[in-house]
Structure 1
Amino acid sequence: MATARNLRALRGAVALGGAAALTLAAGCAPQGSTSVSAQRTVSYWLWDANQLPAYQGCARDFEKKNPGLDVKITQVGWDDYWTKLTAAFIADTAPDVFTDHVSKFAQFADLGVLAPLDELPATKGIKNADYQPGLGASWIGRDGHRYGAPKDWDTVALFYNKKMTKAAGVSAQDLNSLAWNPRDGGTFEKTIAHLTVDRNGVRGDEPGFDKHHVRTYGLATNDAGHADGQTQWSPFTGSAGWHYTNKRQWGDHYNYDQPVFKNAIRWYFGLAKKGYLAPFTDFSESNGPEVQLGSGRAAIAMHGSWMISTFAGLKGIDVGTALTPVGPSGHRATMMNGLADSISKHAKNKEGAQKWVAYLASSACQKTVGEHRVVFPATKAGTAAAVAAYKKEGIDTTAFTKPVADRTTFPFPVTDYAADIDALMSPAIQDIYANGASVSGVLDRTNEQINFLFDQDDHS
């Protein structure tokens, strides 16, 4: 009998492609004849235009090492990537290899469109130990098979305007020694308050501060955080000792209703009520944290390592980076998210695809990617190449790499129903931030709705 999880995955696919999706979900995509051109070409999709040059470089090296094989790279922007990829699976025109995200992993695994890498000759040797801790394990399915070869990783840290922090008497050492708690906010809240300045030049921790007319916020806004809050609240909930689900991976019960999570969320969004965190209305696609920092609207922005070059390139702004604050648990925490390369189960050129993925996962390619200083590659050699490339440009990456070395990171939650969970949590967390909705009421109700999804599996 099909589980409720699989039935929901089927419904999602049917909504996109009708009857053809049923063929896809059943693992029976039509098998046509393979042309000589298809045997020679390996098709590869990715979404990040900034990484395209790096992978074009890897493709050139790969083709030299594998005469007779050509890599055709297609770059599709994030907003269209997943829709086009799903449609391609339905139409049996999917790429041989594609860049995969952990939030999509479970759905693709359920639909049976991923090839198990540990069963293919060229990729079966990929081991978790070859990569930074935690990256490889995220791509192991419920059946124990590997469906993704780690390609890169990211963490979260603080970006700050050095001119503003210096004027406020806040040193780099101060910023790297911050701590927070849900009662009074600790030194983190005190610092954010001190860096906040109203239109009359009064700081947030001084008498007469006007929270309704703020010129510079201590902390920039970056949306409400959706279901994972990666660059918003997750460093706080993580350092409070909270976990998204009941298991490290493939959990089937979410914990958004736990007091430790509620207290952290109540405190974090309470910063906006006090006038220290920029309001929800300040954020837009064209006014992200980097724009707020660059325009003087905010003194500090919390963001991911993929934004290092963007912040460093802000005109007229000397940007520094600092570690996320220590939490009530006594340690820091940052999500460590990582992408991977996956092979389509019905790849037209499966032999070439597995060779290409094996090369993408190798230190040779990952060093090439690291030298382009866009992301931190998954292998230690690739990470070292990225750190060296950033250093050559005068950029210190310690705030992002130290948590990995110290193992104070936690993984992106890999579970079923990722799209449904985000559809429930995004408006819920936004309601708290934008409208001041009751934290307990919203989170209790939403968490119950989320866990009901998994309860269906128990009764199917």
Structure 2
Amino acid sequence: MKKKQLSSLLVLTAMGATTAFMAVGCSSGDSGSADGTVNLNYALWDDKQLPAYQSCVDAFVKENPGISVKVTQTAWDQYWTNLTTELSSGTAPDVFTNHVSRYPELAANNQLLDLQPAVDAAKVDMGQYRAGLAENWVKDGKRYALPKDFDTIALAYDSQKLKDANIDPASLNDLSWNPKDGGTFEQVIAELTLDKNGNNGLSADFDKKNIKTYGLLAYEPGDGFGQTWWGNFAASNGFTYTEKNPFGTQYHYDSPELADTLTWFRSVVEKGYMLPPEKLGKLGPVQLLSSGQVAMNTNGSWQMNAFTEANKDIKFAKLPVGPEGRKSLLNGLGDSVYAGTKHPEQAEKLALYLGSPECQNAVASKAVVFPAITEADATAVEAFKNKSTTPIDPSAFIETADEKNGTVLYPITEHATEVNKIAGDAIDAIIRGTKQAQPALAEAQQQINSLFGK
């Protein structure tokens, strides 16, 4: 999962049946209550997942009456701002949701507890998790989280707009893409793009300067890893982020496969088929797709509920097949324990519970995310399909995850924040048309090389 949720702060408190409500302090200064109850803080950023994990915490507290847990949710940007401050001041939550791009730096600063001894003592079955997820959290023999979920990328589309264009939704799963002419994928993008006179992108009368509906939105500003857009297409064109993953030290941003991919993205902007970055404004993909300003958007499985709640006509299809096959980035979050916690034993116990079948099956039944434990897949799929408000068919995401060689792990390296900034600035310039792809990427690569002493 990536980002970006509502900016509100929600706080829920889970208490044992016999424990009265109490103020819970930060981990560094909380030595427990007078009655002997240990008070833990657990933080996460996804508001959609908050109720599901609150139910897990409630169950945990019921099983452990000597522990209380306060759950705090803050949106992505503010979450990391808060956590950075709290880690520096020694007031970080005991347990918190972590991202693979963030934990290497936290581990290097000795801010995360090694969970491997607790995992070994509890005899946690690491084979229960989807392949690749558990290994992502291990560095130098130390384990810094247990996997809690996974996500893939697919194509969100407005089914009514496809109907208006006489495009069979099922055909989206069979589209092809290449960076030279865009393949059948670009043709569909063009057909779904309409100017203000009703001409689509294939019409000789099409006016690209006066667009009513763009066929595609596939862009996030400052995105140096391209999880929801360019990363998937570049991978399907033969691009690899690093020489190994996790913890490679040689990025490949100067590869021709990436330059060709980004040049294609710029070309569909120039043709008037894709929403230009300068017109993005403050609206996000959910608002733009649900309001009809764009017809399709590449995005992650964590956004399924947001899309369908905004517009029941939004459905999901697989990404197109590229020269090297269909590829989707696969990522997963984990729950880490703060190294400065006053209650390491209890915090570890909570972290292991959050990564357990009991919790993940419960989360799966809430239809908010795909849990990391594979046995919960079927439960999650049925929960999405049987939602009482807006049923969702998540097949595009789960089938992509299960497709042989169909996924690429999110890159995990040192200096991720700096890499993202350098590469993101270069890619922004390419998509905006202010720089050509190859020289911009070559310059970025030189800067990134210097981070790794190359």
Q: TM > 0.5 between the two? A: yes
Between the aligned partners of 1:172 and 1:123, the Cα distance in structure 2 is: 50
1:319 to partner: Cα distance: 1.7
Between the aligned partners of 2:209 and 2:315, the Cα distance in structure 1 is: 28
1:389 to partner: Cα distance: 1.0
Contact 2:60–2:353 at 8 Å: present in 1 too?
Answer: yes
Q: Point out the more displaced range, 48-57 or 147-156.
A: 48-57
Change (3 A) 1:123 1:57: farther
Does 1:280 pair with 2:263? no
Q: Which position in structure 1 is the counterpart of 2:376?
A: 382
Q: Which position in structure 2 is the counterpart of 1:437?
A: 435
Q: Which position in structure 2 is the counterpart of 1:347?
A: 341
1:431 to partner: Cα distance: 1.0
Does 1:392 pair with 2:386? yes
Question: 2:294 pairs with 293, 298, 301, which one?
Answer: 298
Q: Deviations over 1:128-153 (max 9, x none)?
A: 42111211111111x12211110111
Contact 1:226–1:426 at 8 Å: present in 2 too?
Answer: yes
- State the AA in 1 paired with 2:77: D
Contact 2:191–2:201 at 8 Å: present in 1 too?
Answer: yes
Between the aligned partners of 1:423 and 1:417, the Cα distance in structure 2 is: 10
Between the aligned partners of 1:32 and 1:295, the Cα distance in structure 2 is: 48
Q: Point out the more displaced range, 377-386 or 124-133.
A: 124-133
TM-score, length basis structure 1: 0.88
1:347 to partner: Cα distance: 1.4
Does 1:336 pair with 2:330? yes
Q: Which position in structure 2 is the counterpart of 1:326?
A: 321
Question: 2:188 pairs with 171, 188, 191, which one?
Answer: 191
1:275 to partner: Cα distance: 0.8
Question: 1:47 pairs with 45, 56, 59, which one?
Answer: 45
Between the aligned partners of 2:28 and 2:223, the Cα distance in structure 1 is: 39
Is the partner of 1:298 in helix, strand or coil? coil
- State the AA in 2 paired with 1:204: G
Between the aligned partners of 2:93 and 2:251, the Cα distance in structure 1 is: 34
Unpaired runs of 5+ residues, structure 1, are: 1-29
Change (3 A) 1:55 1:344: same
1:126 to partner: Cα distance: 3.6
Between the aligned partners of 2:56 and 2:32, the Cα distance in structure 1 is: 25
Q: Which position in structure 1 is the counterpart of 2:54?
A: 56
Q: Which position in structure 1 is the counterpart of 2:20?
A: none
Contact 1:221–1:279 at 8 Å: present in 2 too?
Answer: no
Unpaired runs of 5+ residues, structure 2, are: 1-26
Contact 2:195–2:210 at 8 Å: present in 1 too?
Answer: yes
- State the AA in 1 paired with 2:335: D
1:127 to partner: Cα distance: 4.5
Is the partner of 1:302 in helix, strand or coil? strand
Does 1:265 pair with 2:262? yes
Between the aligned partners of 1:118 and 1:430, the Cα distance in structure 2 is: 40
Q: Deviations over 1:429-450 (max 9, x none)?
A: 1111123411111100001100
Q: Which position in structure 2 is the counterpart of 1:116?
A: 114
Q: Deviations over 1:93-119 (max 9, x none)?
A: 222111101111110011011111112
1:282 to partner: Cα distance: 2.4
1:66 to partner: Cα distance: 1.4
Between the aligned partners of 1:182 and 1:121, the Cα distance in structure 2 is: 45
Is the partner of 2:207 in helix, strand or coil? coil
1:123 to partner: Cα distance: 6.5
TM-score, length basis structure 2: 0.89
Q: Deviations over 1:222-254 (max 9, x none)?
A: 324611111121110111121111112101011
Higher helix share: 1
Q: Which position in structure 1 is the counterpart of 2:246?
A: 249
Between the aligned partners of 2:231 and 2:154, the Cα distance in structure 1 is: 11
Between the aligned partners of 1:46 and 1:271, the Cα distance in structure 2 is: 37
- State the AA in 1 paired with 2:309: G
Q: Which position in structure 1 is the counterpart of 2:362?
A: 368
Provide the alpha-carbon RMSD of the alignment: 1.9
Question: 1:307 pairs with 295, 303, 308, which one?
Answer: 303
Percent identical across equivalent pairs? 39
Contact 2:385–2:393 at 8 Å: present in 1 too?
Answer: yes
Q: Point out the more displaced range, 422-431 or 219-228.
A: 219-228
Question: 1:427 pairs with 403, 425, 428, which one?
Answer: 425
- State the AA in 1 paired with 2:316: T
Q: Which position in structure 2 is the counterpart of 1:88?
A: 86
Q: Point out the more displaced range, 119-128 or 341-350.
A: 119-128
Q: Which position in structure 1 is the counterpart of 2:13?
A: none
Change (3 A) 1:123 1:347: farther
Between the aligned partners of 1:188 and 1:116, the Cα distance in structure 2 is: 45
Between the aligned partners of 2:184 and 2:178, the Cα distance in structure 1 is: 9
Question: 1:67 pairs with 52, 65, 68, which one?
Answer: 65
Is the partner of 2:417 in helix, strand or coil? helix
Contact 1:128–1:134 at 8 Å: present in 2 too?
Answer: no
Between the aligned partners of 1:326 and 1:345, the Cα distance in structure 2 is: 44
Contact 2:28–2:341 at 8 Å: present in 1 too?
Answer: no
- Where do residues 199-238 of structure 1 align in structure 2 (5 Å cutoff)? 199-224=196-221, 226-238=223-235
Q: After the TM superposition, which segments of 4 or more aligned residues of structure 1 sit over 4 Å from their partners?
A: 30-33, 35-39, 121-124
Contact 2:31–2:38 at 8 Å: present in 1 too?
Answer: no
1:415 to partner: Cα distance: 0.4
